[in-house]
Amino acid sequence: MRRLEEAALKEWEHAFESDPGEREKFYLTVAYPYPSGAMHVGHGRTYIVPDVIARFWRMRGRQVLYPMAFHVTGAPVIGISKRIARGDEKAIRLYRDLYRVPEETLKEFVNPLTIVRHFSEEYQRVMTACGLSIDWRRRFTTVDPQYSKFIEWQWKHLGEGGHVNKGAHP
């Protein structure tokens, strides 16, 4: 039975890859998770609702792109990294005992990117096992060079369009 499940999940993994085509397009994005620990029920609600929307538009004939990203620079990830770097026993126990992070990996959690890489793999595994229709080929993090360029482009165009203004603060 387990082999059947694994085979089905492998097929499912590629079923929602969106390539350019002639159909009308629909792009869907959600708040990027801060993968600083295991997923919880709140994550389920956050990502299942847009998944239902993606499926609705696919059933209506649209070509749907539903990618996933992971937030690296957020306070939760940076906070955990600092606690681990300080040798905070409570944080170390939490990650070692509850999240079962191997000791060698835990030592590298002083780098926030290592935390994100570790838990984003788990998030992807869980989201795939739940059947979310995400195109994982489009996966990225908020520190990827391409994403940074996109943000620069976005701010530039918003500024040129008069949609953002710099205040008196630095």
What are the tens digits of pLDDT across the range 82-116?
999 999 999 999 999 999 999 999 999 999 989 99
Say what percent of the chain tops pLDDT 90. 67
- Residue 70 φ/ψ, nearest 5 degrees: -130, 135
Cα–Cα distance for residue pair 19/78, rounded to 1 Å: 35
Contacts of 5-11 with C-beta under 8 Å, sequence gap 24+, read 9/128, 9/129
112 vs 170, more confident: 112
- Residue 3 φ/ψ, nearest 5 degrees: -65, -40
Cα–Cα distance for residue pair 8/142, rounded to 1 Å: 31
The contacts of residue 33 (CB under 8 Å, 6+ apart) are 39, 43, 46, 70, 71, 123
What distance, in Å, lies between the first and last C-alpha atoms of the chain?
61
pLDDT of residue 141: 92
What DSSP string describes 129-147? HTT----GGG-EETTSHHH
Domain spans in the chain, listed from the N-terminal domain onward: 2-144
CATH topology of domain 2-144: Rossmann fold (3.40.50)
Nearest to 39, CA basis, from 124, 103, 131? 124
- The pTM assigned to this predicted structure is 0.81
SS3 165: coil
CA atoms within a 13 Å half-sphere pointing along the CA-CB vector of 60 = 11
